[in-house]
Amino acid sequence: MSTHVVVGATGGIGRAVCADLVRRGLPVRAVTRSGTPVEGAEAVAADAGDAAAMRDVCRDAAVVHHCVNPPFATWRAAFPAATRALLAAAGAAGARLVFADDTWMYGRVDAPMREDTTVAPVSSKGVLRAWLAEMVLAAHARGEVETVIGRAPELWGPGVRSLLAGGVFGEAAQGRTVRWPGDPDLPMTAGYTPDVGAALVELSLAPASATGRVWHTPVPPAITGRQFVERVFVAAGHEPRVGRITPAMVAVMRLVSPLAREGAELLYQFEQPFLVDDSAFRASFTTRATDWDDGIAATLAWYRADPDRTRRRLVPA
């Protein structure tokens, strides 16, 4: 069997991709800068932005999974470099490249986001994401490498330090007030990382007719932010305590947290209905979204497995 090379293998999505590939009995090479071990996979240390190193680690690949997600502060330089290196490496190996993407390029929307929604980013990160996706699809159109994009909304799940995970589960596990990043009574969808990983693996194994395009990965039925937080509190055994992140809190977070400084420009997503239409994927593939409550139970268990995870605070009290 030919190898699936997962670059960025210890990030939230990369780890989920590795887990699904191992579950399927497929050979996995897990590539990270440090060579961190990943259960069931061959671990390799390499820099995703090093074109020669990527060509070497992908030499026998059937599929290259681009799950690289550099620190926000390095995005402008590191993300394009890694994407170019992986496109070239996959092309040289005759492999398919599967790109793990997000929805930031759509900008402010007033309807559910579909794969054909107009690309109109309102943040610098959305602009960069739009450019990277175009780079990936253009390489396919030129016949240089077979590519496909799996696009997920804001992430949550075990192993994820996002506003929808680190900003909710740690607080709820301790019975502290959860500060929602926008209007908690607007409807939303979100990407549970094991579902995103499984969907990306399906795209890696799909017929060639599925390539050269974007697919939205599966999401559960929409609920409001408040309902999501309340379900987490119930699972944690505490009375729900739901607040909002105020402008003053954002100002403080910008001062003390590099992640908050970089992420503040994306908070607009939670001041509008945040709905992703996954109907195209559901019509063509078998992966289905995990039920909210099942995902909440698994994520809460992950946070509680290490007490330090519940003590870290993304949002000031």
Residue range 105-131, pLDDT digits in tens: 999 999 999 999 999 999 999 999 999
CATH number of the domain where residue 91 is located = 3.40.50.720
Say whether both 77 and 29 belong to one domain: yes
Position 72 scores a pLDDT of: 82
Is the pLDDT confidence value at 195 over 90? yes
Is the pLDDT confidence value at 225 over 80? yes
Say whether both 169 and 132 belong to one domain: no
Position 37 scores a pLDDT of: 96
The answer as to whether 317 is a domain residue is no
Whole-structure pTM value: 0.94
Say whether both 111 and 252 belong to one domain: no
Number of domains in the chain: 2
Say whether both 125 and 34 belong to one domain: yes
Is the pLDDT confidence value at 256 over 70? no
Mean pLDDT calculated for residue range 73-77: 90
Give tens-digit pLDDT for 9-46: 999 999 999 999 999 999 999 999 999 999 999 999 99
Last residue of a domain, one of 166, 201, 216: 216
The answer as to whether 279 is a domain residue is no
Question: Helices then strands (H, E): number in the chain?
Answer: 12, 13
Residue 101: its H or E element = strand 96-102
Say whether both 141 and 161 belong to one domain: no
Mean pLDDT calculated for residue range 165-176: 89
Closest CA to 256 of 312, 193, 202: 312
Record the tokens describing residue 274, joined without a space. 């945040």
Mean pLDDT calculated for residue range 161-167: 80
Position 245 scores a pLDDT of: 80
Say whether both 45 and 103 belong to one domain: yes
Say whether both 208 and 254 belong to one domain: no
Phi-psi region of 217 (alpha: psi -120 to 50; beta: other; left: phi over 0): beta
Give Cβ neighbours of residue 18 (< 8 Å, ≥ 6 apart).
Answer: 6, 9, 28, 30, 38, 39, 40, 41, 197
Say whether both 117 and 251 belong to one domain: no
Cα–Cα distance measured from residue 257 to residue 248, given in angstroms and rounded to the nearest whole number: 14
Position 142 scores a pLDDT of: 98
Cα–Cα distance measured from residue 150 to residue 193, given in angstroms and rounded to the nearest whole number: 12
C-alpha distances out from residue 54 to 60, 134, 241, 273, Å: 11, 21, 47, 39
Say whether both 9 and 139 belong to one domain: yes
**Domain span at 258:** 156-189+223-274+291-311
Say whether both 230 and 135 belong to one domain: no
Say whether both 147 and 257 belong to one domain: no
The answer as to whether 86 is a domain residue is yes
